[in-house]
Structures are given as C-alpha cells and as structure tokens.
Amino acid sequence: MNTSQMWWDDGMMMLNGKKHVANLLEDRKVKSLTQFTAAVAGAELYGPHSYMPGLSGNGTWISLVQRTIDEVYDYWNTECGGGIVWSTDSLHPIPYKSGITQLEFISLATRAYLLTKNETLLEISEKLLNWMVDSKVVDLSTGTVNDGVNTENCTVRKDQWSYSYGCLVGGLIHLHQATGNSSYLSYAGNVATTGIAKFAPNGVAEELCEPIFLRHLAYLYPVTPDKALKSRISSVIRSSAEAALATCDESWNCAGDWVGPSSQWYPAFRATHLVASALVALKVITG
C-alpha cells in the first residue's frame, strides 16, 4: 500500500492506513472560509466599511473579513515548512495540510488586501503560495496543483481536483492585481491550460466541481494577454454551459455529469447552483 494514500471510508478519512474522524461539516475552517468568501464579496459590493444588514458598531463587512483571517491563520504552523492545518479537532487531529485551504485563503486574503491595502495580508498570501511551491503541492511552471501534504512524513498527496485548479487561477489573478507582477498572470495561464487539458479534455468540464473551475476561468478570460488561451477558455465555457443546460428537465432538475447520460440528478437548489455557475461564466465572456 502507498504510505501516503488517503481515502474515505464510512465518514472516516483513511491516511497511512489509519482512520481519522473527518466530519468536515464541523470543521471550523470550512465554515470560516465560507464566511470569509461571503464577507469579502459583501465588502467588494457594498464597500468595506459599510455595515452588514441589521448590524451596527463593529459589524462592517471588512471587520468580519479581518476576524476570519485572524481565526484561520491561527492554524498556521511550521510542520513541513509551513501552511495552515486542515483539521481543527484537537482530540482527533488529521495529519494533513490541504491545498484547498491554502488556496482559498490566498485568494480571499489578497482580495481583502485590494480593499484595505493592509500589507500584512499580501505578505501572508505570498508566504502561503511560496510554501505550496516549496512543498511541491503546486508547480507553477507546469501548472500542476496537487491535493496537499501529509504532515506525518511531509509527502505530497497527488490527487488533483478542478476546484483547486480554479482557486489557484483566481488567487494568481488577484496577486497580479495586487502587485502588478506579470509573472502571476503568466502562472495563472499555465494552471488554466493544464486544468483544461485535465478536466475538459473533450471541450466540456467533466469533474464534479466544474462550476468553481469555470468561474475562475471566466475571471482569467478578460485579463489574459494570451489569445490562444482566451480562445480555449471561451470554447470550454460555451460548450460546458450548453452541455449543462442539456441535462436539465422541465423542472430544472439537472445532472452533475455533463459529458454523457447520467443518473446523477440533484435537488433543485444543487441543480440551480451547477447550471447557474456555468451560465454566469458564459455571461462574463460574452458580455
């Protein structure tokens, strides 16, 4: 058995042949990063110092952003050279640093920097990205994004997911906006190119986290100077949106698999999320 292998078994995470409690719905960082996403979006839409609905005093969008940053970043440590730990359960800790935790934090903290010009936010975003590169979770030259690091032996888990590729594309775009460093935009192109080849080999996004991937491809579309990549992004988003709509019935129940016959029907909310994300991405590239 591969000693760095990890998989799921009856609600448990198997890592190195051991079972670990893995109830991610109770993971504070998952909740915090979801909260973080909503708060940053609110700050961008209404203004960072505007108050959240029904709140006054310290209830501004940006105050929630800063509190969430502080909470999540408390879980940074020096195991395997750095990174934010995945599990916050002190009784049943999972020895893992998930790439998506770092990637969401990088993207959101950099967006917060763009609102506040707080240099610390930019510093820790770049620090996290550098750790991901140094630990070989990410290879910016090839555009490869792995799943994370097993902190028991500092080995990289090489499973790959479209949402990780998408989040890294978004984070690199925001870092380019924050720094003016064109290398970040070039790296975003590398990640997008590799992601398209892996997750949309036949022109339609295939992996079940495709809405996140398509959304971040849409963010890249208007800013990339690479005309060939722009054309590929346009083609994938158009084809994926058409394929997504084709799976829906008259009640807007849709399938998660957009590349062929599927029985993966979702309740209306999930279906709406999947298809709407594809259509929003299409709107971005068509204007």
Q: Distance (Å, rounded) from C-alpha 107 to C-alpha 216?
A: 11
**Per-residue confidence (pLDDT) for residue 3, from 0 to 100:** 30
Cβ-based neighbours of 229, under 8 Å, separated by 6 or more: 189, 192, 193, 220
Q: Establish if 50 belongs to a structural domain.
A: no
Q: Establish if 248 belongs to a structural domain.
A: yes
Q: What is the pTM of this model?
A: 0.87
**Per-residue confidence (pLDDT) for residue 268, from 0 to 100:** 58
pLDDT per position as a tens digit, 65-98: 898 889 889 999 999 999 999 887 777 788 999 9
Q: Establish if 14 belongs to a structural domain.
A: no
Mean pLDDT of 15-37: 49
Confidence of residue 20 (pLDDT cuts 50, 70, 90): very low
Q: Establish if 49 belongs to a structural domain.
A: no
**Per-residue confidence (pLDDT) for residue 13, from 0 to 100:** 40
DSSP 8-state symbol, 134: H
Nearest to 188 by CA among 155, 217, 228, 146: 217
In angstroms, the Cα distances linking 174 to 178, 229, 250, 266 are: 6, 18, 39, 33
Q: Establish if 244 belongs to a structural domain.
A: yes
Is the pLDDT higher at 228 or at 2? 228
Contact 111, 62 (CB under 8 A): no
Q: Establish if 3 belongs to a structural domain.
A: no
Residue 145 one-letter amino acid: V
* Average pLDDT score over the chain: 85
pLDDT per position as a tens digit, 56-70: 666 889 998 898 889
Count structural domains, the chain: 1
Q: Establish if 264 belongs to a structural domain.
A: yes
**Per-residue confidence (pLDDT) for residue 226, from 0 to 100:** 97
**Per-residue confidence (pLDDT) for residue 2, from 0 to 100:** 32
Number of H helices, E strands in the chain: 9, 8
φ/ψ of residue 217, rounded to 5? -60, -40
Q: Establish if 154 belongs to a structural domain.
A: no
**Residue 203: domain span:** 191-287
SS3 of 89, please? coil
